[in-house]
Chain A
């Protein structure tokens, strides 16, 4: 099917849940109440690293407000959980390794009373040395966070291609830089909430919650309870944002709620306030990245050596997967002969880090795109030129030795589109040539430090490009299921095994089924997610829902359509080679459009003749593979490409950066819902801008300072100018009609583009995100806890 023959695919379709969400009618987990339901309150200690000596509940044990206490002694089976490494206790009883850790949970009818009781639990503990400098985590004398693993190393990924030293020797120039990125919070609008309801005889548990990945939660709860998966049933409530953040934490809360519900025989709700949400939930990894590049006078990159250390914080969580994506993509979308990369994730007593939109890519993109710009400036080239010289093209070989084939390698296309659209090169050069006033911020300003008023605001333009492997890649099994059932009246019900995360996948899936069956999108009812009704399709992560789930939905719709075609062939006595068009609620013969039947009549006919109009669709990604010892192999089965151009105004008196315009050019394959795709760009760019300029979770001594949105600053609508999304299309074998990924690509390169634009505006380069006021003006962060703050 070609693009212009689509009926709904690619059109702007208003999402199914949009109205309810903006009118407040949508029901989130915390809107649900059940008879006899108990509240829960967590008991913690304000320590980042401590041995628990004793826990004394005697002061509250007989209080009528207390229904029960749950702690480690109540955990029936697995005491520790984790998606990769099982290092995170459901309740801590020996040690606390981060202040978010929970020692016990109090249950009762009144949250307020429980908060009062919480202060009366007496916990004795012994403070241990706290490790916060994660770059030092592997040094011999540092404390071990989880001594049972023998080291603070969570994972190490090497990648070796060619001979990097030889590459450096042959290079005309070398450039070496170190970059750092900060820890950030997902900032989903709805904090965590989950309800566990014991079923008859306490032999089954029903869980309803704001859960990103219901199948992961099912597995973890079953492990903790020591039950088979069938006895754990997870239903997803309307979810108020996730961005990768409602995975581990929601599994853990589901497990705690289940334990309490089974202990008390009553429904138990856990809901977090914002402070508690930020305190306990995981964050995006801070990275420290050392890059060394060797390149020729012509601009051609010859060799790159990269050493990255990622702060995994207190628990391993997704670090092994996040940093794997980093090692695959660390050199950026450039062909380089000799590459030597090491990526390590380590433990520390900092807040733990895991999945967040971008997943190991925003950090290296900031580094590698800053480096590319610096090389361009050094060689007297424009940023787009250097990228055109090195960028991937059809048949290029990646750092892991994969040949880019079987899809349109659109890197140069997105670059040229973005550059053309914004008159990038001319404007970049014009700004470069402009002489920028400088001043030295000090306690007493010299005459020359005062900026002429008409020089206060400086304009800059910058770009960044990226490539991104779609879906899970060699991280794991990649398959998804969808269930579609046609009713006698021509309407349908649909459910996919990938859970809605607020990105609008329900609407996307309905569009896909509607296109295949030629019926209106709103005649398809999307069913509520329940692990009891649909096959495990892996997690909603890695921008894989449209690609994998969409593939499954398309397959299900095609199966049903084939059934309908069979019915019609029989009825009309047609040979098997006669084919049909399904469109506008009619089914007609391709070569004789005058011969048609209404979709409704055909459904009724099929129904009355006992034809099966229900199907489970399935979609499996092709095999990919990875050699861990050298970091070589076809990591992902396909890739997407993006280029963003940021235009900024910098107030050089204050360090304020205003984003005037971001042009985001992406190649997501075929677009299913135009409105959804544009929404991804608006949201992703905004989140990427937050990463560039404002957002940062600091944790002096392991304790988070920014526990609410008064201190954790995310961009508001006044902080961003125009965002222009542009889509480039290309041929793709995989996904429904070649639809690939967009969610994460939109966010991952924004910060890099902004940093490059700021450099263009002020003439200084920045190596440490976020580019907040102090960073811009002083090229360092200022923090109250910093011992040198006063110098």
Chain B
């Protein structure tokens, strides 16, 4: 049950930040509420001492999408529905659009926000792998400060992020990407609709004359939080891309993940499938297969 709690809806970002500054420890931010509301029901510890909910869902300052420094700055409060509809995101950062369309269902996507997704920082947050391969940088504001942090530093551990009381994520910057990058997002759930991810993968690849010039790999739901595999990416640099190399890369991904998680009850299924589908995904990105995975 949701306890009796104060609910405020500031009109501007400025007001929101000053309310947060005044309310101190007892304030919690609510955007779409699709994690917060079930969180109350499930006794989420982060909500235990909540006395005030500050609603930021409607704030226009958090909905903007604008080009900046050749990249794209996306308002933190954009819903997945709006995100998926945005033409620049679709054209320049297609993995993010693909991921957005796999979140929950239409009703959830109409409310759920991009920042809410990674601030909650569940292992299975679907926006995280694409944002990681796009090298997303967050703008974080408080009543008195502004700072910028790469998403990869911001995500600390399950449900923990580098965010202080009084701070809001206000936008997400995606640096410009060369047109010769191609990539894919992949999500495996137990069913097609409203499915919690069992495995997500995001891959960006740039190949010149059959050699790997840039490879970025991130996964979700297989490690305690979504992560990049920098070591693995380095191994791939300059390598000739062919099926046998992709297979060995898939095997190595498995080893990396195993070293992070150890053997868990789900490992006998998840680890081989991760490798198998990573290989399939790389083949698709490479264009070895015309067929969609689903």
Contacts and interface: CB of A to CB of B under 8 A. Distances in A.
Whether A associates with B in a native complex is yes
Interface of A: 111-112, 115, 439, 441-445, 447, 449-451, 453-454, 456-457, 651, 653-656, 658, 694, 710, 713, 715-719, 772-774, 777-778, 782-784, 786, 789-791
Contact of B283 (A453, A717, A719): A453
Given A713-B190, A716-B192, A441 B272 contact: yes
24 contacts: A112-B1, A443-B267, A450-B243, A451-B276, A453-B283, A453-B284, A453-B289, A454-B290, A651-B294, A653-B273, A654-B188, A654-B277, A715-B191, A716-B105, A716-B191, A716-B192, A719-B191, A777-B269, A778-B268, A782-B268, A783-B265, A784-B265, A784-B266, A791-B268
Most chain A CB inside 10 Å of its own CB: which residue of B193, B267, B272, B291: B272
Contacts of A774: 268-269
Given A450-B250, A456-B291, A443 B272 contact: yes
A457 B271 CA distance: 20
A453 B244 contact: no
Contacts of A789: 265, 268
Interface string B124-156: 000000000000000000000000000000000
A658 B292 CA distance: 14
B280 A456 contact: yes
A30 to B, nearest CB: 16
B194 interface: yes
B192 A718 contact: yes
B44 to A, nearest CB: 14
Contact of B276 (A439, A658, A773): A439
B194 A450 contact: no
Given A453-B288, A454-B291, A782-B265, A445 B272 contact: yes
Contacts of A773: 190, 198, 269, 273
Given A443-B271, A445-B250, A450-B247, A772 B276 contact: no
Contacts of B273: 441, 653-655, 773, 777
A717 B192 CA distance: 9
Given A441-B269, A445-B272, A719-B191, 12 more contacts: A115-B1, A445-B275, A447-B247, A450-B250, A451-B280, A653-B276, A655-B269, A656-B188, A710-B196, A713-B190, A715-B191, A716-B194
B237 interface: no
Nearest to B270: A782
Interface in B207-255: 243-244, 247, 250-251, 254-255
Given A443-B254, A654-B277, A719 B247 contact: no
A147 to B, nearest CB: 36
B188 A441 contact: no
Contacts of A717: 193
Which are the 8 A-B pairs with shortest beta-carbon distances? A716-B193, A453-B289, A441-B272, A789-B265, A718-B193, A718-B192, A653-B276, A784-B265
Contacts of B88: none
B221 to A, nearest CB: 13
A786 B193 contact: no
A669 B243 CA distance: 58
B78 to A, nearest CB: 24
A202 B240 CA distance: 86
A777 B251 CA distance: 18
Contact of A782 (B194, B251, B269): B269
Most chain A CB inside 10 Å of its own CB: which residue of B254, B266, B269, B277: B269
A718 B192 CA distance: 6
Contacts of A715: 191
B293 interface: yes
B191 A790 contact: no
Nearest to A457: B291
Interface string B175-212: 00000000000001011111010100000000000000
B263 interface: yes
B47 interface: no
Given A782-B268, A790-B265, A445 B251 contact: yes
B289 A454 contact: yes
B279 interface: yes
Contacts of B290: 454
A790 B288 contact: no
B258 interface: yes
A450 B253 CA distance: 14
Contacts of B247: 445, 447, 450
Contacts of A716: 105, 191-194
Contacts of B263: 790
Given A719-B192, A782-B266, A783-B265, A447 B291 contact: no
